[in-house]
Amino acid sequence: MENLENALGKYHNIKLKHVIPPVDMMPVVCYNDPIIKVMELLRSRHHVWVINCKEEGSLLGVIKYLSVIDFLLPPDKHNLYIGSTRSALKSVIGGAKTAKEVMEKNALTINHNSTVIDALLKMKRYNVQILAVLNDEERLIGEISLKILIDKFLSLCLAQE
């Protein structure tokens, strides 16, 4: 039990920049990439980050797996009410062609100098399992997921044995 507590103490203070996988392993598209490219990535991932490739990777938004429903439904099948026309506009039949047109603009982010405990608290507060990791210049450099955090904790526990 003491080893577990020691591992947790170390774990909570690890900076995210030491935990995140390489950026080239992430599902990323440029804002002007076609929806087909987004859907190809979503066949095997639960999200795709959308960046501005002209500005060296500034994060613009995220497209989640369940958003594919909005792409595939015709505009007349969306439940429309005041303030909800956005999902109908995400439809391919409704005219959406690029990642920027279907992304959610408010992706949850965290700075790379934040700690594991900061990430866990933010995930809990917003009930999410993944956060975009940004550097000090607000560029996307990685992602931190609950799976990555579990893997890191287990590796610390096994190293304690």
Signed CA dihedral, 101, 103, 106, 107: sign only: negative
Check which CATH number belongs to the domain holding 88 and give it. Answer: 3.10.580.10
The domain total for the chain is: 1
Q: Please count the other Cβ atoms lying within 10 Å of the Cβ belonging to residue 100.
A: 18
Sequence-ordered list of residues with C-beta below 8 angstroms from that of 157, at least 6 positions apart, any chain: 3, 4, 7
- Specify the amino acid at residue 57: G
116 and 152 Cβ atoms separated by less than 8 Å: yes
Mapped to the 3 state alphabet, what secondary structure does 130-160 carry? EEEEECCCCEEEEEEEHHHHHHHHHHHHHHH
Query: Structural domain of residue 143, as residue ranges?
Result: 2-160
In the prediction, which pLDDT does 1 show? 54
What value does the CA radius of gyration of the chain take, rounded to a whole number of Å? 18
In the prediction, which pLDDT does 133 show? 97
Sequence-ordered list of residues with C-beta below 8 angstroms from that of 80, at least 6 positions apart, any chain: 88
In the prediction, which pLDDT does 72 show? 79
Residues of the chain with pLDDT under 70: 1-2, 75, 77-94, 160-161
